[in-house]
Structure 1
Amino acid sequence: MALPQVSEFIVVSGNTLPNESKTDVTDKQTLLAVLQFLKKHNLKGTEDFLKKETGLQDTDVSQDTSAQTASEVAHALAAYKSDDDPSIYGDHYRDLKAFIETCLDVHKVEIATILYPVFVHMYLELVYNNHEHHAREFYMRFHGDQEWYYSEDLSKLATVTKQEHMAGSQIMENFKSSKFVLKMSRDSYTHLKRYLQEKQLKTLLNIIQEHLFIDVFDGVPRTKLQIDLASGGVLGEAAREANKSKVLYGLLKEPDINIPMEEEEEGGGEGEDKPKKKKQKRDPLLSKKSKNDPNAPPTTRIPMPELKDHDKLERINAYREALKKVKMGPNSLPSICFYTFHNALQGVTSIDVSEDSSLLCTGLGDSNIRVWSLTPNKLRAMKPVDELELIDKEADDVFERMMDDTTAEETKLLLSHSGPIYGTSFSPDKSYLTSSSEDGTVRLWSLHTWTNLVSYKGHNSPVWDVKYSPHGQYFVSGGHDRVARLWTTDHYQPVRIFPGHFSDVDCVQFHPNGNYVATGSSDRTVRMFDVLNGSCVRTFTGHKGAVHSLSFSPDGKYLASSGLDGHICLWDISNGNMLAQMKDHTGPVYSLCYSRCGSVLASGGMDSCVKLWDVTKVIRETDKDMDASIPSSLSVNESPSLLICSVATKTTPVLDIHFTRKNLMLAAGPMKTS
């Protein structure tokens, strides 16, 4: 079972390629680059389909790749060619700053957002035209005026001092391939437009027209706080159009499983000698399953694996355990069981716990993976083939008979990667484990034979994270190549590629309904992609550092993200707006997890603390009447009272947090050595 092929929808640099038989020079160059990529990765079916749709021939594709790349770079940089006097750049920038200072305070903070992208493009233009001295002088004069959260990008920009440096610069590539996005009220935009028209500053006008996208909205101007909360992305904010797509964030309808109802004894009345009757206890899950969520996708929207008998039994056990879970809140805090790894000299780089909380695995810096049992049941391997042939396949306990008791151990070691392990993820049925590594591969392991089954190659650079779908079969990976890839257990090539980020994809996460994938990146944005067609349906901006952890609420309505800036952002998936920003950590936050009831969010990071946040309070205090289409009407909850409590370890950073089905919290991390 596999996803349908979507060959006619290919995203390159944020633009959808139309199906046209005749293309201009720019479109043809882009198409040839895509065909080269498809040919390189042996995606023959997609390559042939795209050739047919665009009318390109094999002779067009077989041209020299290096020469093509050089021409593309030259074409990209040509827009910076200018015969202007290099001294006017500083004067124009100074005049723009002076104009902004004379504006009313209500407009000043909004118009000032154009200073950073104008500064970057002016600097790159000076460098391209070989005005090195003026470029260095321009940078030293004005780089200190930029917002603090752009300091990392400015440091990279400072290394581009000659024209030949530009071809290999990531920040140049980002600013040239896409426009910097700003949101501005109509009144503020009118002030800026009038100034530019009156002064006729050609250099400034060209930069704003060519390289900036100003998303003008009707309404009062935004405040400095509102702008800062939404800013921070490498290329500015998310345009409002980016979050207009409908997202089916509801949960899938539960499959029809006959759950035997528990029986409870009923007293026989006054006479103690009368036999006790057994009456059937009503199962609340039966009524819960019958309800349909109007925001849920159809169960047939994407191919899902069929439930086997073993899966149904496991689902029934999960339902039974869920009935016993404790409701979390400020007055009902969870117990915490913390696993500390001592003497991990090779370095613990990733930790994951299985959905049923029975297994824990660690990825290590020496390229090994170790799996631990968290229950009294030891880990066993399957018997040899000749012994399996003698087993009665019709026996009720056939699976138990297949396991070799002589191989029982509390921990198993998995060896195959050739670089540090950066991500691990258990399949929902605990039959498989996926791992990602610096060696550029994603590997699938059998937890019955404890061997490597498949090595998935496609990233060709370090793979930072991998996650299994909550429904099995699919898993997603993200890496240094700035894309996420969707894989299935029955295909060795990715079935979807999710482009759009401008830097490394550091973390990935599946939506609870399995129809969407969220990605966090070093470009300081979070994106959501539709598994069905690979399109980006949500873009969230507001982080001031790389995003390293994502967690969906159990009901699928909200997404929490965190990273190097130590902030935790809570997003409303229905409209793409930020609901809350929680600040109390003093270091990067590498782990987030919702309680099973969805009322508490737990976070952990390098400050060796686990913190609990009251997310139900955020939802309760959100203004339901605000117009989500007007940025200035939005409010973000930053109240310190959202923090319920903080629990510190001695010297153990928190790399993973997990809630069991009964809402016991498990957390883990390596002991920090002095």
Structure 2
Amino acid sequence: MPITNSRVIPLTCSGHTRPVVDLQFSSMDSDNNYLLISACKDGNPMLRDGRTGDWIGTFLGHKGAVWSARLNKKSDRAVTASADFSARVWDTFSGEELYKFEHQHIVRACDFSSDSSRVLTGGLEKKLRIFDLYRPESAPLEATGHEGTIKSVAWDDSRQTMLSAGDDDCIRVWDIRTMQQVQKLDQGTSVTSMVTSADGNYLTSTAGTGAYFWDTRAGYTLANQHTLEHSASTISLHPDQTKFVAGSGTDLWVRIYDFKTGEELEVYKGHHGPIWTVSYSPDGELYATGSEDGTIRLWKTNPTKPYGLWQNC
């Protein structure tokens, strides 16, 4: 039976005024600290201390909902994708907007290349674009082929590929050098999330009630698949790859599953609305959840171990 513990109290990060739809932790720095960025329908992406959830700053400028937010590897830049038909790149130290890339429709997803020189976007235009930050005024590279809204994008520079997924029931793999599709991973229904694991060895995705784990080292082959009790809006794989956290658009509970067996290990209640986004911290000591209720909550992976602001546990 899964552990259900109502006494587990997460840290609640307030500040957003509408549903939180995307979260990402940064890599750890030399002092083992890290950041957390959030995207929200209130149009105000926020940056926080990843360990404590303390607010650092808000990136101001978007005129519509922000659907996606990502940090580069050095955490000195952020990119956001918005319903105001733009993707924007920000300086995370000053909060200054560095670049604004105009689109013809809502931008739903964005990501940095590993060297931070390029930005990948996708959205309701059903088109992928790559913007060169060294030549921001130049026309972007484009790739077409999706038949529905693109809701997730990711770089895989080590394999010279980029990935995209959305409403046309599949993940598409593209060769960055030719901008041509080289692989298609069928999901059977709309893909609600897609991210790469911390070490890059897995591509994780959700579609319907399914949680999928694709081995990137073996040509994006399906390494594991689990059918969950509720529809899966989002999953995140723990850095040690023993378990994963899942959220649902039809359920208010945070659920932890065994990676190998799919057994439900833990169940926690805290949010007052569906959970749209989850992410493990780079050290695996906590995970963040973002909800329709407008809050971000931070949960300890080990409820009995002191960590961050939970020093008295």
TM-score range, shorter chain: 0.7 to 0.9
The one of 184, 192, 212 equivalent to 1:548 is: 192
| Contact kept? 2:171, 2:187, Cα under 8 Å | no
Q: SS at 1:481's partner residue? A: coil
Name the structure where strand makes up a greater proportion of residues.
2
Shift of 1:342: 4.6
The one of 269, 272, 276 equivalent to 1:649 is: 269
Q: After the TM superposition, which residues 170-185 of structure 1 pair with which residues of structure 2 at under 5 Å, given as runs?
A: none
Note closer, same or farther for the CA distance 1:578–1:369 as it changes in structure 2 (3 Å cut): closer
Measured against aligned partners, the alpha-carbon deviations of 1:555-601 in whole angstroms (never above 9, x if no partner) come to 545422113x1211233453555444311241341x32222233433
Q: Which has the higher contact order (CA 8 A, sep 6+)?
A: 2
| Contact kept? 2:276, 2:292, Cα under 8 Å | no
Note closer, same or farther for the CA distance 1:582–1:411 as it changes in structure 2 (3 Å cut): same
2:34 aligns to what? 358
Shift of 1:341: 4.4
Q: After the TM superposition, which residues 254-653 of structure 1 pair with which residues of structure 2 at under 5 Å, given as runs?
A: 338-342=10-14, 344-356=16-28, 358-374=34-50, 410-457=55-102, 459-492=103-136, 493=138, 495-511=140-156, 513=158, 515-544=160-189, 546-553=190-197, 556-563=200-207, 565-573=208-216, 574=218, 577-589=221-233, 591-606=234-249, 607-615=251-259, 617=260, 641-652=261-272, 653=274
| Contact kept? 1:352, 1:362, Cα under 8 Å | yes
Structure 2, unaligned runs of 5 or more: 3-7, 295-313
Note closer, same or farther for the CA distance 1:354–1:575 as it changes in structure 2 (3 Å cut): closer
TM-score normalised over the length of structure 2: 0.77
Instruction: Give, in whole Å, the separation in 1 of the partners of 2:278 and 2:203.
Output: 16
Note closer, same or farther for the CA distance 1:583–1:439 as it changes in structure 2 (3 Å cut): same
2:306 aligns to what? none
Q: After the TM superposition, which residues 187-266 of structure 1 pair with which residues of structure 2 at under 5 Å, given as runs?
A: none
Instruction: Give, in whole Å, the separation in 2 of the partners of 1:670 and 1:376.
Output: 18
Instruction: Give, in whole Å, the separation in 2 of the partners of 1:358 and 1:558.
Output: 22
Instruction: Give, in whole Å, the separation in 1 of the partners of 2:38 and 2:242.
Output: 28
Note closer, same or farther for the CA distance 1:642–1:455 as it changes in structure 2 (3 Å cut): same
Measured against aligned partners, the alpha-carbon deviations of 1:268-314 in whole angstroms (never above 9, x if no partner) come to xxxxxxxxxxxxxxxxxxxxxxxxxxxxxxxxxxxxxxxxxxxxxxx
Instruction: Give, in whole Å, the separation in 2 of the partners of 1:375 and 1:560.
Output: 24
User: Does structure 1 residue 664 correspond to structure 2 residue 285?
Assistant: yes
Shift of 1:432: 0.9
TM-score normalised over the length of structure 1: 0.38
Q: SS at 1:642's partner residue? A: coil
1:71 aligns to what? none
Counterpart code for 1:347: P
Note closer, same or farther for the CA distance 1:575–1:444 as it changes in structure 2 (3 Å cut): closer
Measured against aligned partners, the alpha-carbon deviations of 1:386-408 in whole angstroms (never above 9, x if no partner) come to xxxxxxxxxxxxxxxxxxxxxxx
Instruction: Give, in whole Å, the separation in 2 of the partners of 1:346 and 1:603.
Output: 21
| Contact kept? 1:587, 1:605, Cα under 8 Å | yes
Instruction: Give, in whole Å, the separation in 1 of the partners of 2:232 and 2:237.
Output: 18
Shift of 1:535: 1.8
Note closer, same or farther for the CA distance 1:426–1:555 as it changes in structure 2 (3 Å cut): closer
Q: SS at 1:655's partner residue? A: strand
Note closer, same or farther for the CA distance 1:340–1:503 as it changes in structure 2 (3 Å cut): same
Counterpart code for 2:247: G
Instruction: Give, in whole Å, the separation in 1 of the partners of 2:285 and 2:60.
Output: 32
Structure 1, unaligned runs of 5 or more: 1-329, 331-335, 379-409, 618-640
CA RMSD of aligned residues (A): 3.0
1:91 aligns to what? none
Counterpart code for 1:483: K
Q: SS at 1:415's partner residue? A: coil
Measured against aligned partners, the alpha-carbon deviations of 1:501-530 in whole angstroms (never above 9, x if no partner) come to 111111112227262211111011111112
| Contact kept? 2:25, 2:50, Cα under 8 Å | no
Q: Percent of counterpart pairs with the same letter?
A: 17
Q: SS at 2:45's partner residue? A: strand
Aligned residue pairs, count: 280
Name the structure where helix makes up a greater proportion of residues.
1
Instruction: Give, in whole Å, the separation in 2 of the partners of 1:337 and 1:477.
Output: 36
Note closer, same or farther for the CA distance 1:467–1:532 as it changes in structure 2 (3 Å cut): same
